[in-house]
Structure formats: C-alpha cells, structure tokens
C-alpha cells in the first residue's frame, strides 16, 4: 500500500520552502478580518433541515433557530474507531452465489444492491440473534471464498476551526463561470441546498441513508460543497461546475454521525452512473474489502477519487479510502504552511492543502473550520479542472501533472507528513470549456 518516496531535492528546495512560509504568513491576516465580519452577520439565524422522499431526493425544508452559527468547529475523528453495523455483513459478487451462500449458512438477506455502473452486486446479510458479526463473517469467508465479504463498517466525517485560505495560497478569486463543464461527485453528509452559497449553482443531491435513520446536521456536507462550488463571495473554487452530492451520513442515538459501508457503495454507484469525472471523499474509516473492490472498479472507469487523509494524529493507523493506491490522499496545512496537528501521517499522503481556519458555509451562515476534510476539496477541484482540460482520468496521471506545481515542504522530496507538498498552481479556469 505504501508509495515510493521521491529523491531529495537539496538546498534549493529548502530555500523555496522558507520563502513560501513568509508569503503565506503575510497574506493571511487581512482575510481573517473580512471573514470574521461575515461570520458575525449570520448570528442567530436559521438552520434548514431537508426532508427526503423514499428515493433519497430532497422534497422539502424545515426551519429552526440556530443559536451559534459562528462558532468554530474542529474535526476530531480519525475514522478508525467508528465500529460496525453489528447486525449486518456485506458480500459482493454474483447474486446467485450470494443467495446460495446465505441459504447454506441460514442467513437472511436484508437487501441486495445492483451496482450497474460498477457491474457488481452487493448484499447485506443479517446477523442472526445469538451470533456475532465476527462468527458470521468468518463462516461466510470460509464457505464462499469467491465472494468479497467484510463487516458493514462505519465511516466518519474527516473534520477541526478558521478564513477563506485562498489569499494565502496565492489563488485568485474565482469567477462565477470557473469550472464550467466539470462534473464533480461528493460523498459526505447532506447539503443545505437553500444556503445563499449555492444560489445559482448547479447542485444535485441524493440521500442513501434510508428511512430508518435521521440525517442529522447538514454542517459538514454544506461546508465541503461550499468549498467546491460555492459562489465567489463564499470562496468556492469552481462555482461553474455541477456537483452531485451523495449523503451517506446519519445521526446515531449517541448524537454522533456515521455512515455505513453499504451506503458508500450505493453512493459510488450513483456517482458513476451520473458520469462524474472526480469524486471528493472527506470521510475516513478502516480498510474494507468490499469498499476496496469498488474503489478499484472506479479507477478502472478512469474516475479520480480524492480523499481526506484523516484526523487521528501522527501515530494513527492509515485512514481509508485515502490509503488505497487508487486514491489521492490530502492532508491539511495551517496558514504558516505547517502541518495540522491532528492530521494522520504515512506513506500514503500525496499532497498538503489548507485545512486549518478554513471559512466555509454552514446552515444559517458561515464558520471557520479545521480538518483534512476541508483540505481535500482543493485537490478535487484541481483534478476536475485538469480533466476538463484534457487530462487522463487516473490518479497516476493526475499526480504527474500536479507534482511539478508543488512547493516542497518538510523533508526534501515526498515524505509521510506533507506528501509531495503544497500545490501552488490554481485551477486553469481561463482555459476551461
């Protein structure tokens, strides 16, 4: 799973890094003032709660008062301890083989998802009372080794506090047309489509959590979507792009949010059916055999997957899907070009982008936020712009195009903290069709 490090670049790279840090610091303070004023203007405003039909489409909006829309929010989950759905096991493979194995083991099938875009079937098998998920999975893997089976793992939003960081990046403000022709997918929480950040934007939303779960807060999904396609006044990178937003997160009884591996598979299939070019995954969880199989299938379809590196700190285990070879993994920087203290580290890290004190839209207004979740959309937008301009749709080719435009940080060459470094080149909107 580890990727080969690049060779050292020497003293010149170290000098470039020092110069870059000075530039980032000098440009950040002015943006903090403007964003703070904008934050205050949304105090005590409304939260919008979307209602969905049985197919996951938005059919209405409820409103409630928001007591503190301008408080800073810090992303804490590394995605490694979110657990599993205890009453279900996932199996991927031919339908008849899944049904045969279920009958032989005395298991009932909760649901079967035909993922036509991936040419794959995924089923959820119910864990009988009196048995554990561990026992059922072991029995299934032994009886039907030809199937790809695993737990129905739970994933977390890869979130931490914040300023629109584009000024200290040296990226210009986007025009409303920037990103025209790009089709971006996003798998995250629900998006408040009525937020002013999305006025006039091209946003298609669908939920994959089913009727038995509460979708919970729209904060995280709204924030990530606003970075991708929010209007120019909200710091959106590609306001002219079309965004397909898949909601896979629900609120547990504890109040925490989680997303099942099964919902993730269905969301990926919908996005591939929607012919997106790149998918943003600001989520983190454990390695999962079924998800790995689907990520590999998406890569064969030339779909670029960009994922948040995780927020478990330097000693945390690799976060998935970021750690898959087929995925571009993004970690978070602060405005001094230093690593976000809670960011995961490892050989799988590809790039480092702003993820500390990032100004985003949230229901009822805006907020500063921290986390690798908010760094990943910068690379997603860059990848989408490159593909509209004719780049090949594969992680390897995108890395090859982006690496020459990076500022090396940390140890010379690719390292486990910053990856290849910070991408200084903004999207080429002027050339986009």
Q: Do 285 and 362 contact (CB within 8 A), yes or no? A: no
Query: Which string of b and e fits 260-284 if b means at least 16 CB within 10 Å?
Result: bbbbbbbbbbbbbeeebbbbbbbbb
User: Higher pLDDT residue, 392 or 328?
Assistant: 328
pLDDT tier at 55, thresholds 50, 70, 90: low
pLDDT tier at 167, thresholds 50, 70, 90: low
- Mean pLDDT within 135-151: 91
Q: Where are the domains of the chain?
A: 11-79+156-431, 84-152
Q: Do 47 and 63 contact (CB within 8 A), yes or no? A: yes
- Coil, strand or helix at 271: helix
- Coil, strand or helix at 433: coil
Q: Give residue 37's pLDDT.
A: 27
How far is CA 5 from each of CA 9, 349, 413, 415, rounded to the nearest angstrom?
Answer: 12, 10, 7, 6
The string of pLDDT tens digits covering residues 243-296 is 999 999 988 888 788 889 999 999 999 999 999 999 999 888 999 999 999 999
User: Higher pLDDT residue, 276 or 10?
Assistant: 276
DSSP assignment string, 68-119 = -TTS-EE----SSS--EEEEEEEEES-HHHHHHHHHHHT--EEEEEEEGGGT
Q: Do 291 and 264 contact (CB within 8 A), yes or no? A: yes
Q: Give residue 10's pLDDT.
A: 39
Q: Give residue 203's pLDDT.
A: 97
What percent of the chain has a predicted confidence (pLDDT) above 90? 52
Per-residue pLDDT for 6 more than 90?
no
User: Higher pLDDT residue, 207 or 81?
Assistant: 207
Least confident of 50-64, 268-282, 412-426: 50-64
pLDDT tier at 168, thresholds 50, 70, 90: low
Q: Give residue 151's pLDDT.
A: 83
CA 337 to centroid of chain Cα atoms: 22
84-152 placed in CATH 3.30.70.260: yes
Strands in 213-254 per DSSP E: 242-247, 249-251
Q: Do 364 and 71 contact (CB within 8 A), yes or no? A: no
Domain 11-79+156-431 is of which CATH architecture? 3-Layer(aba) Sandwich (3.40)
Q: Give residue 157's pLDDT.
A: 58
Name the one residue in this structure whose structure tokens are 């993004």.
Answer: 330
Q: Give residue 156's pLDDT.
A: 60
Q: Give residue 171's pLDDT.
A: 79
Least confident of 19-23, 129-133, 146-150, 243-247: 19-23
Token pair recorded at residue 118: 């991936």
**Residue 411 CB: number of other CB atoms within 10 A?**
15
Least confident of 13-17, 64-68, 190-194, 315-319: 64-68
Q: Give residue 169's pLDDT.
A: 67
Q: Give residue 189's pLDDT.
A: 93
Q: Give residue 30's pLDDT.
A: 29
Q: Give residue 259's pLDDT.
A: 87
Q: Give residue 114's pLDDT.
A: 87
Per-residue pLDDT for 327 more than 90?
yes
Q: Give residue 60's pLDDT.
A: 47
Q: What is Dmax (Cα atoms) for the chain?
A: 67
Name the one residue in this structure whose structure tokens are 């306001």.
Answer: 239
Q: Of 50, 62, 63, 321, which is closest to residue 205 (Cα–Cα)?
A: 50
Q: Phi first, then psi: what are they for 70, rounded to 5°?
A: -105, 10
Per-residue pLDDT for 76 more than 80?
no
Per-residue pLDDT for 349 more than 50?
yes
**What secondary structure, in 3-state letters, does 277-324 show?**
CEEEECEEECCCHHHHHHHHHHHHCCCEEEEECCCCCCCCCCCECCCC
Region of 360 please: left (phi>0), alpha (psi -120 to 50) or beta. beta
Token pair recorded at residue 221: 């999904």
Between CA 294 and CA 118, with CA 183 as vertex, the angle to 5 degrees is 20
Packing angle of the helix pair 376-388, 395-402 (nearest 10 deg) = 100
**Residue 404 CB: number of other CB atoms within 10 A?**
9
pLDDT tier at 57, thresholds 50, 70, 90: low
Number of alpha carbons in the 13 Å side-chain half-sphere of residue 118: 29
- Coil, strand or helix at 425: coil
Per-residue pLDDT for 175 more than 50?
yes
């Amino acid at each position: 799973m580890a990727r080969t490090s690049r060779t050292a670049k020497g003293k010149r790279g170290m000098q470039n890094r020092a110069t870059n840090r000075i530039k980032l610091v000098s440009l950040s303070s002015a943006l903090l003032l403007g964003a703070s004023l904008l934050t205050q203007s949304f105090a005590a405003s409304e939260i919008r709660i979307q209602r969905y039909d049985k197919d996951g489409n938005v059919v209405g909006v409820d409103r409630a008062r928001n007591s503190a829309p301008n408080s800073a929010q810090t992303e804490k989950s590394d995605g490694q301890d979110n657990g599993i759905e205890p009453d279900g096991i996932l199996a991927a493979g031919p339908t008849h083989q899944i049904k045969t194995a279920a009958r032989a083991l005395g298991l009932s099938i909760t649901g079967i998802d035909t993922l036509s875009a991936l040419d794959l079937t995924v089923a959820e098998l119910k864990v009988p009372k009196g048995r554990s998920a561990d026992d059922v999975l072991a029995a299934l893997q032994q009886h039907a080794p030809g199937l790809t089976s695993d737990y129905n793992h739970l994933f977390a939003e890869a979130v931490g506090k914040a300023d629109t960081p584009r000024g200290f990046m040296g990226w210009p403000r986007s025009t409303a047309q920037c990103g025209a022709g790009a089709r971006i997918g996003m798998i995250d929480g629900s998006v408040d489509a009525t937020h002013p950040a999305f006025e006039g934007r091209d946003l298609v939303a669908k939920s994959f959590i089913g009727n038995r779960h509460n979708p919970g807060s729209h904060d995280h999904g709204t924030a990530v979507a606003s970075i991708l396609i929010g209007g120019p006044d909200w710091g959106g990178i590609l306001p002219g792009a079309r965004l397909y937003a898949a909601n896979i997160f629900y609120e547990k009884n504890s109040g925490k949010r989680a997303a099942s591996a099964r919902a993730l598979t269905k969301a990926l299939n919908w996005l591939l059916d929607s012919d997106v070019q790149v998918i943003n995954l600001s989520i983190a969880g454990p390695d999962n055999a079924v998800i790995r199989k689907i990520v590999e299938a998406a890569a064969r379809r030339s779909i670029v997957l960009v994922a948040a590196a995780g927020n478990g700190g330097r000693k945390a285990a690799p976060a998935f899907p970021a750690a898959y070879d087929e995925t571009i993994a993004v970690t978070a920087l602060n405005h001094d070009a230093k690593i976000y203290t809670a960011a995961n580290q490892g050989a799988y890290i590809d790039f480092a982008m702003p993820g500390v004190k990032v100004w985003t839209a949230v229901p009822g207004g805006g907020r500063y936020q921290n986390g690798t979740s908010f760094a990943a959309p910068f690379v997603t937008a860059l990848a989408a712009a490159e593909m509209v301009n004719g780049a090949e749709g594969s992680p390897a080719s995108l890395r090859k195009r982006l690496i020459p435009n990076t500022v090396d940080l940390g140890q010379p060459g690719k390292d486990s903290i910053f990856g290849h470094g910070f991408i200084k080149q903004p999207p080429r909107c002027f050339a986009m069709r």
